[in-house]
Amino acid sequence: MSPERLRSLAGLLRDIGSPAMIIGGLAVSVHGRPRTTLDADVTISLDIGELPRVVAAASRCGFTPRIEDPEPFVRRTRVLPLRRVEDGWDVDLVFAGSPYELEAIGRARSVAIGGSDLPVISPEDLLIHKILAGRPRDVEDAASVVLRQGDRLDRRMVLGVLSELASFLADDDLRRRAEEVLASDADV
């Protein structure tokens, strides 16, 4: 990802002025195996009622919504899809919707990426996100985080949060997936 794009993302987050965290492929590149990603995914700590302010900040920073009328879409999905006007680069802003997401934003760390300081999800929370998503690519990403982070990971925290979420979601398979991914450092 180009330093210019990362600077524009940092500027957007500064202009929005809300706590946030980089998630997705860019975060995997920081905490796991570096991989190509064509977009950026960011969770922000704002109520959807702040959407007009976020759209105005995006416009000032050279981004425009990728959909004609974003409000109904954001209310339904909690995601504001943006595109950088200059080069068509996509950024998805996710409006945090759960206490867990707000806690995860609080644990995000500022990381220098391409010359810009960006708030990046913690390795533990990235694992939780990826295990919850559960797609093959997400499981690969999670395994790469486990391998790269090794003993620095707070495995107890990851299993604790995922156990709570498994109970809440009635997903008996979630804890098993978490245990398999956390054991993957021997297999990757």
The mean pLDDT of 35-54, rounded to a whole number, is 94
pTM, full prediction: 0.92
Residue 184 binned pLDDT confidence (cut-offs 50, 70, 90):
confident
* Mean pLDDT in residue range 140-155: 95
The interaxial angle of helices 51-60 and 70-77, nearest 10 deg, is 120
pLDDT in tens, 19-29: 999 999 999 99
Check residue 158 and give its pLDDT: 94
* Mean pLDDT within 144-167: 92
| Tens digits of residue pLDDT in 161-176 | 998 888 888 888 888 8
Please give the pLDDT value at position 186.
52
Q: b/e for 17-51, b at 16 or more Cβ within 10 A? A: ebbbbbbbbbbbbbbbeeeeeebbbbbbbbeeeeb
Q: What is the pLDDT of residue 182?
A: 87
CA–CA dist 167, 145 (Å, integer): 25
Q: Nearest to residue 96, comparing CAs of 108, 110, 78, 81?
A: 78
- Residues 85-97 have a mean pLDDT of 96
Domain ranges of the chain: 3-121, 128-186
pLDDT averaged over the chain?
Answer: 93
Class of domain 3-121: alpha beta
What mean pLDDT do residues 83-112 have? 96
